[in-house]
Amino acid sequence: MTLTEPAGAAPAEETRRQRTQRTRSRSPMKRGMYPFILTFLLPPVGIYALYMLSPYIQAIYISFTDWSGLTTDFNVIGFDNYVELWNDDQIWTALRNNLILLVFAPVLTLLLGLFFASMLNVGGKRRGVAVQGVRGSSIYRIVYFFPQVLSVVIVGIVFKYVFAPESAGGILNSLFSFIGLDGLTQLWLGEPSYLIWIVLLVMTWSFVGFYVVLFSAAMQSIPKEIYEAALLDGSTRFTTFRRVTLPLVWDTVQVGWVYMAIQAMDGFAFVHIMLGVHGGVDGAGDVLGVAIYREAFSNNDFGYASSIGVLMLVLTMTIAVLFMRIMRRERVELA
Amino acid sequence: MATVTYDKATRIYPGQDAPAVDNLDLTVEDGEFLVLVGPSGCGKSTSLRMLAGLEEVDTGAIRIGDRDVTHIPPKDRDIAMVFQNYALYPHMTVAANMGFALKIAGTPKAEIQRRVMEAAKLLDLVEYLDRKPKALSGGQRQRVAMGRAIVREPQVFLMDEPLSNLDAKLRVSTRTQIASLQRRLGITTVYVTHDQIEAMTMGDRVCVLKDGVLQQVNTPLALYDKPANVFVAGFIGSPAMNIATFDIVDGKAQLGEASVPVPTSVLSAVSAEDSSTLTIGFRPESLVPASSDNGGGGIPVTVDLVEELGADAYVYGHPTGPAAAEQVERMRSEAVIARVEPRMAPNKGDKVVFAVREGESHFFSAKTGERIEP
């Protein structure tokens, strides 16, 4: 707490230094320790407070005003923004979409990530070798990581083309026509009920590679003998995965889950680029991030946008805490 | 209960010319404790892993009992293995570790519990059953690994240097525990170690390997008394046997001033293979101090170091005299080692002449390294 004290709090600083000197004067090494440490700690904490914490606090304050973002004057309007939020159907749509992403994106991404990672590292089967990846796993490893190298913007633009109508260069529809499945062609981005699922698909595609690499690293750190022991104990590949591999990479899965959940709460870039600032047809693909952007920069209502932001902050923190609570297990050490 | 048979089993690692295990022919009797021993890289672990099914058999066959297991997966071989680093499942309790194989096999819970408890009592692990491996000491982990094997009630136990991660004192006590446990259970055991003392003290029979080739397999005492070749002679025994290549001069083995009597049967064997040199080995306890005037025989040695062990004292020395340089070059061992009476041990720097006790020399062909039986 005292670390964030501004320079104006010199008297407190002074007394502490005196106290420090008195108690530690026997040890010349330690005499200058506190000022020394503070010199290193204060700048980063100060920068963090200035650029990270203060915007949060300001945003909370702005959410109680009707500030347009363009003027210097604004009125404090109490909870009006939050009342409006409660009655805004579009926000409910965005929230519902975020929750869909929150439930399905981590499940889908982590399951695929775990599946691919275990295939790459421990899924192979060859006589006389206990642990290895499937044939050609080094190539798959690179291929899976590709999407992670691409910027989200590029991914969004590419998939906009994938799902576009054939006349606009729609890759998926062209493919269907080409192989004679014309019946399957659709105006993918024109159907409101598809939108969020398409976003989910693209999001999963772009993040799976990262989790493959993350889980691969975790699996590589499991001693080979443990797999050999499991093999001798009569464990099949699936049992080994469920009873040995998964428990031993559980910590990593947990971290990955939280990270992916935060990604799902965001989703701004994908939706904004693929579906536009209004969240696609009827706003059906809207997410909270896009709603904030829209209210702030399109509708010039920073007060309202801030209240959505505060809602998102609360949701994200709640979810992170809940996940950590639910998924906490005894930490496993590789003995 | 079963025998284990290696029938010309060979393992060549991909990308290598020399086989890691070369035409291994070996039979382990039912209920026998066989120790595979050799220096690192000799193929002993590979042999064991071939039997476990963790390593492929390129040519030849391996049989457990009458069953050819060469190409069947590890889980169907009815074996249990104790790994060097124990390979305990870190996320499971001791009880779950020991019962894992049974659980997978679908054994009823009560039965698993009974067998785990039985093994835990046998190994003194009852109070640790609910702990995770990380909360156990090295010795306890080792016992859990043993327990995991015992619970399986397999036909064959495989142990891959299970004691090498323990401290010296614990190793000695665990050594006897494992050996007596194996005798009590009567399960055929193949045990790999690089430590020849472990091999000698634990095994019913000991199998010495070098560069993937079987050198000799016999009871510990037989290996000690009649090593089949120079390698086994130098490997078995601590301190090591003194080995050097001698010239045959006038029916005696000569090396500089050192001279050792040679039986006529050995002399004729040497001349039969058209050689004038002979490799002779003698154990430290076969050397006795001799007065230098006993007819020119004996080996003059300058003492470098005396190891006082209380019951014994070992003298480490180097050959002296005009031909010392040649003698050192011809020696296979680092130093001349002799066991002496601890109360009459020479001092550092003393010059002592040692003679070899009658009939306690080991003779080997200088060309092939094979033993020549006098």
Considering B234, B259, B281, which residue would you say is the last residue of a domain? B234
Residue A126 scores a pLDDT above 70: no
Helix (H) or strand (E) holding B158: strand B156-160
Helix residue ranges, H only, chain A: 10-24, 28-31, 33-48, 54-62, 80-87, 89-121, 137-149, 152-162, 171-178, 195-220, 224-232, 237-240, 246-248, 250-266, 268-275, 288-293, 302-327
Q: What type of residue is B343?
A: R
Q: Where are the beta strands (DSSP E) in A15-139?
A: none
Look at A174-188, B22-36, B240-254 and tell me which has the smallest mean pLDDT. Answer: A174-188
pLDDT of residue B17 exceeding 70, the answer is yes
CATH 1.10.3720.10 fits A84-327, yes or no: yes
Q: Given this model, what pLDDT does residue A328 score?
A: 65
pLDDT of residue A5: 42
Min Cα separation B92/chain A (Å): 9
B132: tokens are 């995770």
pLDDT at B69: 92
Contact residues of A toward B, CB < 8 A: 127-130, 223, 225-226, 228-235, 239, 243-244, 247-248, 250, 330, 332-335
Would you say how long chain A is, in residues?
335
Q: What is the arithmetic mean of pLDDT over A284-295?
A: 92
Model pLDDT, residue A24: 47
Percentage of residues in chain B with pLDDT exceeding 70? 98
Question: Which site among A226, A231, A232, A333 would you substitute to test the B interface, given the most B Cβ atoms closer than 10 Å to its Cβ?
Answer: A232
User: Is A17's pLDDT higher than 60?
Assistant: no
Q: How far apart are CA A232 and CA A213, in angstroms?
A: 28
Q: What is the pLDDT of residues A224-235, one digit of tens each?
A: 889 889 988 988
**B298 and B283 fall within a common domain:** yes
Asked if residue B269 and residue B227 are part of one domain, the reply reads no
CB–CB contact B88 A335 (8 Å): yes
CATH code at B40? 3.40.50.300
Give the nearest partner residue to A334 out of B55, B80, B90, using CB atoms: B90
Going by C-beta distance under 8 Å and a sequence separation of 6 or more, which residues neighbour residue A56?
A: A313
pLDDT number for residue A6:
46
CA distance A153 to B9: 59
A25-29, A107-111, A179-183, B107-111: range with lowest mean pLDDT: A25-29
- Domain end, chosen from B216, B234, B252, is at B234
Residue A4 pLDDT:
42
Give me the pLDDT at residue A130, please: 56
Q: What does the DSSP assignment read for B16-55?
A: -SS-SEEEEEEEE-TT-EEEEE-STTSSHHHHHHHHHTSS
Same domain flag for B48 and B138: yes
Instruction: Report pLDDT for A237.
Output: 84
Q: Which two tokens stand for residue A13?
A: 């600083």
Mean per-residue pLDDT, A20-28: 51
B85 has a pLDDT exceeding 70? yes
Left if phi > 0, otherwise alpha if psi is -120 to 50, otherwise beta: which for B178? alpha
CA distance B206 to chain A (A): 25
Say whether both B189 and B57 belong to one domain.
yes
The whole-number pLDDT of residue A28 equals: 55
Q: What is the pLDDT of residue A9?
A: 43
Distance of alpha carbon B10 from alpha carbon B21, whole angstroms? 5
CA distance B102 to chain A (A): 8
Q: Are residues B104 and B157 both part of a single domain?
A: yes
**Each residue's pLDDT tens digit, A60-103:** 999 999 888 888 888 888 889 999 999 999 999 999 999 999 99
**pLDDT tens-place string over residues B107-146:** 999 999 999 999 999 999 999 999 999 999 999 999 999 9
- Could you say which of B187, B216, B234 is where a domain stops? B234
Amino acid B213: pLDDT: 93
Interface test with B, best of A132, A231, A233 (most B CBs within 10 A): A233
**Domain spans, chain A:** 2-62, 84-327
Least confident of A13-22, B69-78, B240-249, B324-333: A13-22
Query: Residue B52: its chain A contacts at CB < 8 A?
Result: 228, 232
For residues B341 and B323, the model is more confident at B341
Task: Please count the residues of chain B.
Answer: 374
Residue range B87-100: average pLDDT? 93
CB contact under 8 A, A335 and B90: yes
| Residue-wise pLDDT tens digits, A307-329 | 999 999 998 888 878 877 776 65
pLDDT digits (tens, 9 = 90+) for B46-83: 999 999 988 889 999 999 999 999 988 888 899 999 99
Same domain, B85 and B161: yes
Q: What is the pLDDT of residue A122?
A: 78
Which residues of chain B does A244 touch, with a Cβ-Cβ cutoff of 8 Å?
A: 89
Region B345-354: mean pLDDT is: 87
Rounded CA gap, B225 and A279, in Å? 89
Cβ–Cβ under 8 Å, residues B57 and B50 = yes
Q: Which residue has the tokens 């190793």?
A: B171
Q: Which pLDDT belongs to residue A16?
A: 53
Per-residue confidence (pLDDT) for residue A176, from 0 to 100: 86
Q: How many domains does chain B contain in total?
A: 2
Q: Is the pLDDT at A8 greater than 50, yes or no? A: no
Helix (H) or strand (E) holding B253: strand B252-255
Residues B213 and B355 in one domain: no
Whether the pLDDT of residue B11 is over 50: the answer is yes
- The helix (H) or strand (E) run that includes residue B354 is strand B351-356
What is the C-alpha to C-alpha distance for residues A176 and A187, in angstroms, rounded to an integer? 13
Same domain, B135 and B268: no
Give the structural domain span for B333: 241-372
pLDDT at A2: 41
Look at residue A184 in the predicted model and tell me its pLDDT.
78
Residues from chain A contacting residue B104 (CB–CB below 8 Å): 233-235, 239
Are B289 and B306 in contact by the 8 Å Cβ rule? The answer is: no
CB atoms within 10 A of CB B6: 24
C-alpha B288/C-alpha B301 separation (Å) is 12
Task: Please report how the helices B138-152 and B109-123 are oriented relative to each other, as an axis angle in degrees rounded to 10.
Answer: 130
Query: Is there a single domain that holds both residue B143 and residue B50?
Result: yes
Per-position DSSP letters for B82-138, written without gaps between them: E-TT----TTS-HHHHHHHHHHHHT--HHHHHHHHHHHHHHHT-GGGTTS-GGGS-H
Q: Residue B255 is part of a domain; what is its CATH number? A: 2.40.50.140
Token pair for residue B236?
A: 């078995």
B202-228 average pLDDT score:
93
What confidence score (pLDDT) does residue A36 get?
87
Q: Which of A104, A81, A108, A85 is nearest to A95 (CA)?
A: A85
User: Which range (A16-25, A204-213, B96-105, B207-216) has the least confidence?
Assistant: A16-25
Residue B371 in contact with residue B364, Cβ under 8 Å? yes
